[in-house]
Amino acid sequence: MARQRANPDPGYDPDSLSTGVLHLGVGAFHRGHQAVFLDDLARQGETGWGILGVNVTAPDWTAAHAARDGLYTVLEGEGGAWRARRVGVIRRFLFRERGEAGLDLLTDPAFWLVTLTITEKGYCHRPGTRTLDEAGPIAHDLAAPRDPRTAIGFLVETLRRRRAAGLPGLTVASCDNIPDNGRLLEGVVLDYARRVDPALADWIEGAVAFPVSMVDRIVPAVDDAARALIAAETGRDDPLGIVTESFRQWVIEDRFAGPRPPLETVGVTITRDVTVFEHMKHRILNGAQTALAHLGHLSGFSTTAACMADPVMATFARRFMERQAAVTTKPPGQSLAAYVERSMARLSNPAIRHPLTQIGTDSAFKIGQRIGGATADLLARGGPMSLHALTIAGWMQYVCGRTLDGTPIPVNEPGADRFAALGALTASTPLDRVASFLALDPFPPALAADDGFVGLVADMAKRLAHHTPRTILADLLVTPGTRGAVA
């Protein structure tokens, strides 16, 4: 029986908000992060920053949004203590299939900010570059730019119409978890615009600002258990509701065109250099999540919190983060030791059921930014390398798609076939096999060039053929003085 708990409506009239923000990619993260910061602003009486959400790919929230007049619950919690909050800032939702729908949106002068959470694949770029992958979905839009299907094509067409209407530029902020996300977005937008309308590209270059931002909040995909929890805590079904932790952080580069929401009044850091914040987050928190995703799944765990409840995996996470922190620059006013401590607490939060396979999705995009660079930096300063070698060997095993006992792993990423092919190269030696993985683009060349490191990864891969990562870690973490010791 669902309990009726306090779940107050927002302390403002949602209909009084005008939509100053266009968001592309209304997923769980947007509902739990940017929308909550803008909800804080609305609660302070700022009425100009309601959101119009657009999805150019599934899911289509049209019916869910209409059914609840755009209101939804954010259930925030640590342990068993929950706080339910009603968010009312997403004023309209549009699912753009083909046709004209949405293309004139930015000709409304109320819009001053576009934000995006479209996942890494949504940028349509060649990994490791800021240029378009012409062989991918963008090919359609390049041929028919007035009828775009990708987020990049949609954005550029709406900007073209804004310019044609004689309106000024605005700010377009990527909120995807990608290093230098604003530069990537600017690169692909300009690359695309230059090919379809060079004068438009010149206008965008002068009139549109693409700030980099670091975004942080763990918002797991909403599953049946999360929906049931929201219903139990609030007494109502809530198709747009999400479950998340209390922590949230947003650091955004001070680079805006035109008016912007006063985000600094609701705890957002606006700064000239986001990179140091980004490195801290990607290497320490995300690095540990990605390492645990692969090593944890191969050890039989299903969520981050379940891993962290195990003393061996938790000790690994701490040591791994400390090593990543050793090669990370401290952002002003931050302590890396405190960041590790807080990350330990966040990852251990039993209230958050973050599936390891969700974090393992698109891992080839993630492992370079989170682990590859730090591994090369650690190697350059003389190690220790054992935990990183095991982490990379674990990733190799994960993307090849089988656990120790042969159970298939639901590998979800564009390069899966390529990895499986590398994994199946039975004719080559284990060393060659490791070297061919380390030569893939997520990794800096220094890794494959270091024979000692290649040997250490090959040694870990051999151990993984007979033991789970947890068993290997139990040995590595308690046996000082040996080759893989955690001194």
How far apart, in whole angstroms, are the C-alpha atoms of residue 337 and residue 182? 28
Taking CB under 6 A as the rule, does residue 289 contact ligand CS2?
yes
Segment 120 to 159, residues that bind ligand NAI, using CB under 6 A: 121-122, 150-151
- Residue 366's binding partner among ligand CS2, ligand NAI, none (Cβ under 5 to 8 angstroms by kind) is ligand CS2
Q: What is the DSSP letter of 139?
A: H
| Tally of helices (H runs) and strands (E runs) in the chain | 22, 11
358 is a site residue for ligand CS2 (CB under 6 A) = yes
Q: Which tokens is 365 given?
A: 């995009």
165-184: which residues touch ligand NAI (CB under 6 A)? Answer: 176-177
358 binds, among ligand CS2, ligand NAI, none (CB under 5 to 8 A by kind): ligand CS2
Output DSSP code: residue 10: P
Nearest CA to 185 out of 112, 260, 132, 138 is that of: 132
118 binds ligand NAI (CB under 6 A): yes
One-letter amino acid for residue 330 of the chain: K
Minimum distance from residue 26 beta carbon to ligand NAI (Å): 5
Name which of ligand NAI, ligand CS2, none residue 26 binds, using a CB cut-off of 5 to 8 Å depending on partner kind. ligand NAI
Within positions 49 to 68, which residues make up the interface with ligand NAI, using CB under 6 A?
55-57
Residue pointed to by tokens 């079904």:
237
Residue 394, binding choice from ligand CS2, ligand NAI, none, Cβ under 5 to 8 Å by partner class: none
Helix (H, G, I), strand (E, B) or coil at 172: strand
Handedness of CA 418, 421, 425, 429 (dihedral sign): positive
Q: Which does 302 bind (CB under 5 to 8 A by kind): ligand CS2, ligand NAI, none?
A: none
> Which residues have a Cβ under 8 Å from the Cβ of 8 and sit 6 or more positions away?
85, 86
192 interacts with ligand NAI by CB under 6 A: no
Q: How many Å apart are CA 276 and CA 264, to the nearest integer? A: 19
Distances (CA, A) of 46 to 43, 295, 403, 481: 7, 46, 52, 60
Is residue 119 within the footprint of ligand NAI (CB under 6 A)? yes
CB closer to ligand NAI out of 133 and 475: 133
Pairing mode, strands 90-95 and 269-271: unpaired
Taking the least distance from each CB to ligand CS2, the nearer of 42 and 307 is 307
> Does 283 contact ligand CS2 by CB under 6 A?
no
Binds ligand CS2 (CB under 6 A): choice among 30, 121, 318, 366: 366
Site residues for ligand CS2, window 213-272 (CB under 6 A)?
A: 216-218
215 token code pair: 């975004």
Q: Distance between CA 437 and CA 161 in Å, rounded?
A: 45
Using rule CB under 6 A, residue 279 touches ligand CS2 = no
Q: Evaluate whether 192 touches 138 at the Cβ level (below 8 Å).
A: yes
In terms of CB distance, is 309 or 425 closer to ligand CS2?
A: 309
> Which residues of this protein are in contact with ligand NAI, per CB under 6 A?
25-30, 55-57, 117-119, 121-122, 150-151, 176-177, 215, 217-219
Q: In the complex, which residues of this chain contact ligand CS2 (CB under 6 A)?
A: 177, 216-218, 286, 289, 358-359, 366
